[in-house]
Structure 1
Amino acid sequence: MTKTVLITGASAGIGKATAIYLAQNGYNVYGAARRIEKMQELKALGIKTISLDVTKDESLVGCVEQILKETARIDILINNAGSGYYGALEDMPISDAKYQLEVNIFGVARLIQLVLPTMRKNNYGKIVNISSVGGKITLPMGVWYHASKFAIEGLSDALRKEVKSFGIDVIVIEPGGTKSEITGLGAEYMLSVSGNTAYNTLAKGVANMYAKVEKDAADPIVIAKLIKQGIEANNPKTRYVGASGAKIMLFFRKILSDKFLDKMIMSQMK
């Protein structure tokens, strides 16, 4: 039976690449995003598109209800939509921090709530949460982004234990440097809020580091293939790591002390 997949944040980057790749491999794919106009290419490939704002409950409910009405099932949920605002904690408005957490954690949790009843009924489901190497390792200026991704890691670990007996797997994807507009937008925002404050030197250093990372960033198809590997495994790993610099950074996280890792990371902020 053809599996039905819902992918959020499908208008660009990892979400778009994954929607296309899974559709090419026989999945019934629904791509969801705020910018419906950016998903015309997906429509041309037979992917169904849905307007979705993960910060609005009525939008989340409407999205799931539409898919269940059309297919009666959601077999795989890929929580990919994300916000990447960077800036010093002292400088960032709490309203922007709250928005980032709404997108990166509360929207994810609410969507999971909405798909679980059908998955439990079918005794089958795959919930894929896109985290980041930034869910294990932090950079300065990334306070709220990292807080949200660390939260995704914890949410996923607890949820995995709750739903395993219902035939549902929870999979975390931890990308490293991946080509995405979120990086550029995050750096732009960071310079707007911290580029002229006491943190301006550090903000510029982080922006320079980001520019270097973008040059070596992996194509999103690398992560799309990891996701396919995870959802097709009978007994998937709890975490899949991929893209530029991911494995080496997580290795350093394991073997180095916090303070030594801090020094190594800060040495790159020039």
Structure 2
Amino acid sequence: MTTAVLITGTSSGIGRATALRLARHSGLTVYATARRTEAIADLAEAGARVLALDVTDERSMRAAVEAVEAEHGAVGALVNNAGYGEYGTVEETNLDGVRRQFETNVFGLARMTQLVLPGMRTEGRGRIVNVGSMGGRLVFPAGGYYHASKYAVEALTDALRFETAPFGIKVSLVEPGLIRTGFGGTAAGTLAGSAAPAGPYAALNAVAGQQMADSFKSTALSAPPETVAKVIERAITTPRPRIRYVVTPAAKALVHTRRLLGAGMFDAYLRRQFRGAA
């Protein structure tokens, strides 16, 4: 039976790469979504079906899920990919921006999940793949609010996996490291706009911004979005998907290092990385 895959946030980056990859999979019908369908018109040419979807709007979310269910009975697989980073220090970052980020990264993911689950339970099967981040396992300075949103995704995914298992629904968390998409530019922009240049955290913000720019440019530390798309495809199609997929060697090394060092030693490691920020 053909599985209908609904992917959020496919206008760029990981979502776009995933839609393109899955559209080539003969056993899947892919629904690519974005706020503006004109931004993903080319995905229709690649074989995906295009829907308007804003994960911060209830009516939009309901309409997208209902469109898939009208044709397939249920969403076979949901890829909760939509998200972005709101960067800045805890003291200085505008909380209106933080709320908007949580509406997309956390509440949008949660609501999309709520909407597809009744159909999946009725079918007795389904896949949910949440795109988290290595940033849900460790924290860098000037990124606390973004990391908090990804820690929330970790918690929701762990609860969801246990709750839905009796209904034949498999839940996986994909945790990418640094991926060469527009994410880095967006995050750097929010960081630059989060505080006055001469504020108390100016030095930290400058170092954090440079670290971010250098890391995303590094081919040793980052990877293209197609790397994540391949993992998402595996999580959807393999009979026994993993609970977690950490993506990129650098992310695996950092997550392992954070676990081994503990909080105090990892802080010392960060102080070395962020020299000049004090």
1:21 aligned residue: 21
Q: Does 1:134 align with 2:135?
A: yes
1:250 aligned residue: 255
Q: Cα 1:268–1:101, aligned 2, differ >3 Å: closer, same or farther?
A: same
Counterpart CA distance in 1 for 2:256 and 2:169 is 29
CA deviation after TM superposition for structure 1 residue 215, in Å = 1.3
CA deviation after TM superposition for structure 1 residue 212, in Å = 1.3
TM (norm. structure 2) is: 0.94
Q: Cα 1:75–1:237, aligned 2, differ >3 Å: closer, same or farther?
A: same
Aligned counterparts, 1:59-74, within 5 A: 59-74=60-75
Q: Is the 8 A contact 1:87 1:143 kept in 2?
A: yes
Instruction: Encode CA deviations 1:64-116: one digit per residue, 9 max, x unaligned.
Output: 11111233221000000002110112111211111111101111010000000
Counterpart CA distance in 1 for 2:226 and 2:83 is 17
Counterpart CA distance in 1 for 2:237 and 2:120 is 16
Q: 1:262 aligned to 256, 261, 267, which one?
A: 267
What secondary structure does 1:138 align onto? coil
Q: Does 1:52 align with 2:50?
A: no
Q: Does 1:41 align with 2:46?
A: no
Structure 1 stretches (4+) deviating beyond 3 angstroms? none
Q: Is the 8 A contact 2:8 2:32 kept in 1?
A: yes
Query: Which moves more between the two structures, 206-215 or 106-115?
Result: 206-215
- What stretches of structure 2 of length at least 5 have no aligned partner? none
Number of equivalent positions: 270
Q: Is the 8 A contact 1:218 1:244 kept in 2?
A: no
1:200 aligned residue: 202
Aligned counterparts, 1:1-270, within 5 A: 1-26=1-26, 27-196=28-197, 197-216=199-218, 217-243=222-248, 245-270=250-275
What secondary structure does 2:158 align onto? helix
Counterpart CA distance in 2 for 1:77 and 1:36 is 19
Counterpart CA distance in 1 for 2:129 and 2:196 is 35
Query: Which moves more between the two structures, 241-250 or 2-11?
Result: 241-250
What secondary structure does 1:174 align onto? strand
CA deviation after TM superposition for structure 1 residue 195, in Å = 5.0
Q: Cα 1:195–1:243, aligned 2, differ >3 Å: closer, same or farther?
A: farther
Counterpart CA distance in 2 for 1:258 and 1:145 is 19
What secondary structure does 2:208 align onto? helix
Q: Is the 8 A contact 1:177 1:244 kept in 2?
A: no
Query: Which moves more between the two structures, 98-107 or 243-252?
Result: 243-252
Q: Is the 8 A contact 1:195 1:204 kept in 2?
A: no
